[in-house]
Amino acid sequence: MSDSAATDSTDQSAEATASVAPYEPVRVLPTRPDGWPNWLGRRPISSADRDKILGDLRADQDEQNAVERRDSLQRAPLFSCLTIEGFGSQDDLRKVIRLRASINAACRVAAGDRRTSYHATDERITIGIAGPDARERIAGLRQQLARMSRNRGWTITEELR
């Protein structure tokens, strides 16, 4: 290889490395009057404007809460209860636990997505279901519990409202 060919190849390699320099983008961010970067392109809100907006939101929320309270009073759900008595006659604790679990499952099925109340003692369980169809749901629950209560000596009473 001649000297001129060697210098040509070194010149080409120097040019190739010089043209392949890493590209570094230059980003220019606008700044807000307070000196912080303006990422979203918005102007800063004054504290007086912020207080006005928050006051309007609170007033709207208070008005909405008042309307909800008024509507809930007008649509107050009926609440019906069912009481099961006679668990004290059972001697086997495991059997009592299984029976209570079965009653709880029947209560959940009967209530569906309605609001419920549940109060249990050693002798008594009181189950309440709220809603406009609470009577029908309690009646269905009583039918299921009547099947379970055969030969157990339970007393089932209803308080329908």
**Tens-place pLDDT, residues 57-108:** 888 787 777 777 666 555 545 778 888 888 767 778 888 888 888 888 888 8
What tokens does 72 get?
Answer: 């809930």
The model's pLDDT over 21-53, given as tens digits with 9 standing for 90+, comes to 566 666 677 777 777 777 776 666 788 888 888
The model's pLDDT over 107-156, given as tens digits with 9 standing for 90+, comes to 888 888 888 888 888 888 888 888 888 888 888 888 888 888 777 778 88
- Contact (Cβ atoms closer than 8 angstroms) between residue 123 and residue 88: yes
The CA-atom distances, in angstroms, between 93 and each of 19, 36, 105, 149 are 87, 70, 18, 17
Q: How many CB atoms lie within 10 A of CB 124?
A: 16
Q: Identify the burial level of 82 via C-beta atoms within 10 angstroms of its C-beta, where 0-12 means exposed, 13-18 middle and 19 or more buried.
A: buried
| pTM exceeding 0.85 | no
